[in-house]
Amino acid sequence: MAAPESVPTSPTVAKAYQSPPRRDASWQADRPGEVVGGGQPTGPRLGSPGPDQGYALKLVHQFDGKLHLVDGEDIHDVESGSVAIAMRRSSIFGRAPVIHDLTIAFTVFGFLDPKAPGELVAARRQLFEGVHIPVHYVESRAVADAVHEDTLRMTPGQVEAAYQANWRDLVSL
């Protein structure tokens, strides 16, 4: 049976590591799909790129049993929409999502408030409906884009205080 070249052929002879041959030219971004010149493109439906954004999918389970939903709201929609908000917030700071990103996402739409205002509940039910379904990417982006960037730059404490004062100042519905 064949063995890789790194495996010694004799137990008494060890093969040492060798670097690959040196290249004369520097690396070039010449493959299809490489982002060159000017950075990541921005615009409608292009999302909010950032490092390790999938980590928000792991963090969202820290809120299991803590969210206050009403009849007709699907937990999968709520989690998916809030993860989109968290990923947008983390990309603003150029880092992976952290628990505070999700805390802000859930706070803004009243999911952590057992007595959320009726107007907000009605608006979020319509906004979040079906966003967990992959073909509803546009709707998911609408959820993330509904939160003002100024809101996303606040701390969780500031968002909580602003939510209590007037939740309408935090989102565009």
User: pLDDT tens digit string along 109-121?
Assistant: 999 999 999 999 9
Question: Can you give the pLDDT at residue 23?
Answer: 74
**Dihedral over alpha carbons 134, 138, 139, 145 (to 10 degrees):** 130
pLDDT at position 144 is: 93
Give residue for tokens 């009726």. 118
Helix or strand run (H / E) with residue 160: helix 156-166
The tokens 């939740």 sit on which residue? 167
Distance CA 36, CA 41 (A): 10
Nearest 5 degrees, angle CA 156-CA 71-CA 122? 60
Question: What is the reported pTM?
Answer: 0.77
**In 60-148, alpha helices (H):** 75-92, 99-108, 118-128, 137-146
| H or E element in which residue 27 lies | none
Band of pLDDT at residue 48, cut at 50, 70 and 90:
confident
First to last CA, the chain: 65
pLDDT over threshold 70, residue 18: yes
Query: Taken in order 51, 57, 60, 61, is the CA torsion positive or negative?
Result: negative
Name the residue with tokens 């602003």: 162
Question: What secondary structure letter does DSSP report for 147?
Answer: B
